[in-house]
């Protein structure tokens, strides 16, 4: 978490209506687990507003943005690219190499929905699997960010929060 470099998460393949909740949860996990911003397709406006509202209420800095063109966004990214896919190389042997590279460059983490276009596999510096079993972009992203930040994301402080949850043994306390 000491790195000065950006961690951005790109959610591709969003299907309006059907994927709204999952896309929003990708954004929630990106924010809660230490990324700096999430980029959605411009068809995901409701997820974008929800995430930015969460940041207003519970703190930042974190922002959700949209792009009109995922291919252009990926092709113009200046930094490392990690694509999370069940077909990729297992995370454990590669995580140290990714952390070392991330110390000198920003990183874009790409998660998909249905079928991911092949140019994403080709443009990625690493195609990484979190097990080689099919599961979820939300789970894969959470595990990947936790490994990248080595658990330090849990100590992140949040600026400008209107609401702060005070942990309780029993019950709910929000200040």
Q: Which CB contacts under 8 angstroms, 24+ apart, belong to 90-94?
A: 90/128, 90/129, 90/131, 90/132, 91/128, 91/129, 91/130, 91/143, 91/144, 91/147, 94/126, 94/128
When asked if residue 87 is in the footprint of ligand SAM (CB under 6 A), the reply is yes
Contact 86, 129 (CB under 8 A): yes
**Closest CB to ligand SAM belongs to which residue?**
112
The mark string for 111-140 relative to ligand SAM (x by CB under 6 A, - otherwise) is xxx--x------------xxx-xxxxx--x
Tell me whether residue 143 or residue 161 sits nearer to ligand SAM (CB atom). Answer: 143
When asked if residue 38 is in the footprint of ligand SAM (CB under 6 A), the reply is no
Task: Report the residue from 24, 50, 55, 85 that binds ligand SAM according to the rule CB under 6 A.
Answer: 85
* Count of residues in contact with ligand SAM, rule CB under 6 A: 17
Shortest Cβ 143–ligand SAM spacing (Å): 8
What CA–CA distance (Å, rounded) separates 28 from 101?
Answer: 25
Q: CA nearest 22: which of 154, 114, 108?
A: 114
Shortest Cβ 110–ligand SAM spacing (Å): 7
Residue positions counted in the chain: 175
Shortest Cβ 152–ligand SAM spacing (Å): 22
Tell me whether residue 58 or residue 145 sits nearer to ligand SAM (CB atom). Answer: 145
Shortest Cβ 162–ligand SAM spacing (Å): 32
CA distance to 60, 129, 130, per residue, from 133 (Å): 33, 8, 8
When asked if residue 23 is in the footprint of ligand SAM (CB under 6 A), the reply is no
Residue 65: its H or E element: strand 63-67
H-state helical runs in 125-169 = 137-149
Residues in contact with ligand SAM by CB under 6 A are: 84-87, 111-113, 116, 129-131, 133-137, 140
């Amino acid at each position: 978490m000491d790195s000065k470099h950006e961690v951005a998460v790109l959610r591709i393949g969003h299907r309006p209506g059907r994927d709204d909740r999952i896309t929003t949860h990708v954004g929630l996990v990106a924010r809660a687990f230490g990324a700096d911003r999430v980029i959605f397709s411009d068809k995901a406006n409701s997820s974008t507003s929800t995430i930015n509202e969460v940041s207003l209420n519970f703190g930042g800095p974190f922002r959700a943005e949209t792009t009109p063109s995922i291919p252009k966004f990926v092709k113009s990214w200046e930094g490392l690219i990690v694509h999370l896919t069940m077909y990729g190389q297992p995370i454990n042997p590669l995580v140290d190499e990714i952390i070392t590279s991330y110390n000198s460059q920003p990183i874009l983490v790409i998660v998909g929905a249905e079928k991911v276009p092949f140019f994403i596999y080709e443009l990625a510096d690493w195609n990484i699997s979190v097990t080689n079993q099919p599961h979820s972009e939300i789970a894969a992203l959470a595990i990947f960010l936790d490994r990248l930040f080595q658990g330090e994301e849990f100590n992140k402080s949040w600026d400008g929060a209107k609401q702060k949850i005070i942990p309780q043994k029993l019950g709910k306390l929000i200040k």
